[in-house]
Amino acid sequence: MATAGELYGRPWSEAEYIIVLQQYFSHRDGPLHAECDYVGATARLLGRTAAAVAMRLENFASIDPSMSGKRAGLSHINALGRRVFDHWYTRQDALAECAAAFSRDRQSQFVPSLFEPNRVQIPRAFEHYELVDQIGVGGCGTVFSCIEVETQQLFAIKIISTDKIHDQEAIHRFRREIKALKSRAHPNIIRLHEDNLDSERNFPAFVMDFASHSLTSFVEAVSREQSNRRRPLLSSSQASEIIAAIFEAVHALHTDSPRIMHRDINPNNILRLPNGSWVLADFGLAKFISSAPLMTSFHTTTQRGWGTQWYTAPEQYHNFRDVDERTDIYSLGILIWELFTEGNPPPDRDHLGLTEPIAAVYSKATHRDPSQRYQSVGHLRSAFDDIFR
């Protein structure tokens, strides 16, 4: 049985970061793009593509204090890359020696062929994506950034976790997510580009749009920029834009055929694409309403069981298999509270920290009795929109 690494490649190692960081410090005042000779030489040394090396150089530019205001860079970099940068930033003389040692080691491992002087040594996911960084871990899958080699476009790839390949519920959940994404094409739902569900039994994976932030990380970034850090952290217009996008996504799930319940709407599953649009993602808990119910006995990354803390409707804990679209209405109500409240979690019905009109919408959307909630996303959206007319 092939390993995940043999199928999809490998993320960046610390030695690779160090080699490229040395190149960055040597060339940061000049161009950092893939067509540069030094970028191509570094790519051949590492067995990477020039696009991946250029991406890493831009990552370093985005966190380099000396480049502040001079170069925007590509801000997405994982914890290992940031740690390497922070460690070596004030030790550049020692970095040069360390990078040279790693480079000599690489040269001894790889002698270019006369016929393939530029070949990439690592496997490519789906034969044309190069794995870059691990950017997230979910209940049953790990997400990596990846580069489409020909176009140099950035995507994300989700691969089932090694420890889940014998967990039948995890496999079902992963396949449900792929099935849900394949059944939808909507601007506010994360787009699936390709999958190997039919050909790969042990390590299924799928390629989707790359997101620059989750709503969680976006709000945290905004918070860091504010001196008082008082809630709500986003402006009313920003919050309304996000809510409107997710309303559109959930409406499409609930009304298009086959109808789908998401069952895990929360800020970690709301993503911001590089173009600024917001999409709903992570359909591992999705239920196709027309299909037979599945018995479910797993935990999410929050260890709460049937959803995500605070966002899960009460009925999901009582009878997970028989819930309907109104469980998503409940989660949308909590999202409204999260974006507009002056208070801190968990929501306190006696001290909501909301204006009276928004509090009324929140209270109806999150009523413990599903029959007392808004009965559709359309009704919730109309009530919410009426506040701002």
Tell me: the pLDDT tens digits for 120-144? 567 789 989 999 888 888 778 899 9
CATH of 129-209, one of 3.40.50.620, 1.10.1270.20, 2.40.260.10, 3.30.200.20: 3.30.200.20
Arithmetic mean of pLDDT, 28-40: 93
The crossing angle, in degrees rounded to 10, of helices 14-27 and 37-46 is: 170
Which pLDDT score is estimated for 115? 59
**Residue 228 or 354, more confident:** 354
pLDDT at res. 17 = 96
Q: Of the candidates 342, 8, 292, which has an alpha carbon nearest to the alpha carbon of residue 146? A: 8
Q: Are strands 213-214 and 205-209 parallel, antiparallel or unpaired?
A: unpaired
- The predicted structure's pLDDT at residue 263: 92
More confident residue, 121 or 278: 278
Q: Which residue type, as a one-letter code, is found at position 326?
A: R
For residues 363-370, average pLDDT: 97
Q: What percent of the chain has pLDDT over 70?
A: 90
Residue that wins the pLDDT comparison between 286 and 362: 362
Is residue 293 scored above 60 in pLDDT?
no
Identify the band that residue 373 occupies on the pLDDT scale cut at 50, 70 and 90: very high
Answer for the pair 316, 206: CB distance below 8 angstroms, yes or no. no
Confirm if 255 and 184 have CB atoms less than 8 A apart.
no
Residue 297 has pLDDT above 60, yes or no: no
- What architecture (CATH level 2) is domain 213-387? Orthogonal Bundle (1.10)
The pTM score is 0.84
pLDDT exceeds 80 at position 302: no
pLDDT at 359 (0 to 100): 97
Average pLDDT over every residue of 376-387? 97
Average pLDDT, the chain: 87
Nearest CA to 335 out of 275, 247, 258 is that of 247
Average pLDDT over residues 343-361: 95
CA pair distance 329, 258, nearest whole angstrom: 18
Q: How large is the average pLDDT for residues 346-361?
A: 95
Q: How far apart are CA 18 and CA 85, in angstroms?
A: 8
Residues above pLDDT 90, as percent of the chain = 56
- Span 218-222, mean pLDDT? 88
pLDDT band with cut points at 50, 70 and 90 for residue 86: very high
Over the stretch 317-351, which tens digit does the pLDDT of each residue have? 887 677 899 999 999 999 999 999 999 889 999 99
Q: What is the predicted pLDDT for the residue at 74?
A: 60
Q: What span, in angstroms and rounded, lies between the C-alpha atoms of 210 and 203? A: 20
- Predicted pLDDT at 15: 96
Domain ranges of the chain: 4-109, 129-209, 213-387
What local confidence, expressed as pLDDT, does residue 143 receive? 92
- With beta carbons less than 8 A apart as the criterion, state whether 27 and 149 touch: no
Mean pLDDT value of segment 344-364: 95
Tens-place pLDDT, residues 98-120: 999 999 988 877 665 665 555 55
With 0-12 / 13-18 / 19 or more C-beta atoms within 10 angstroms meaning exposed / middle / buried, residue 191 is middle
Q: What is the 3-state secondary structure (H, E, C) of the chain?
A: CCCHHHHHCCCCCHHHHHHHHHHHHHHCCCCCCCCCHHHHHHHHHHCCCHHHHHHHHHHHHHHCHHHCCCCCCCCCCCHHHHHHHHHHCCCHHHHHHHHHHHHHHHHHHCCCCCCCCCCCCCCCECCCEEEEEEEEECCCEEEEEEEECCCCEEEEEEEECHHHCCCHHHHHHHHHHHHHHHCCCCCCECCEEEECCCCCCCCCEEEEECCCEEHHHHHHHHHHHCCCCCCCCCCHHHHHHHHHHHHHHHHHHHHCCCCEECCCCCHHHEEECCCCCEEECCCCCCEECCCCCCCCCCCCCCCCCCCCCCCCCHHHHHCHHHCCCHHHHHHHHHHHHHHHCCCCCCCCCCCCCCCHHHHHHHHHHCCCCHHHCCCCHHHHHHHHHHHCC
> Is residue 16 very low, low, confident or very high in pLDDT (cuts 50, 70, 90)?
very high
Per-residue pLDDT at 73 = 58
pLDDT band at 14 (very low <50, low <70, confident <90, very high): very high
Under 8 Å between Cβ of 327 and 261: yes
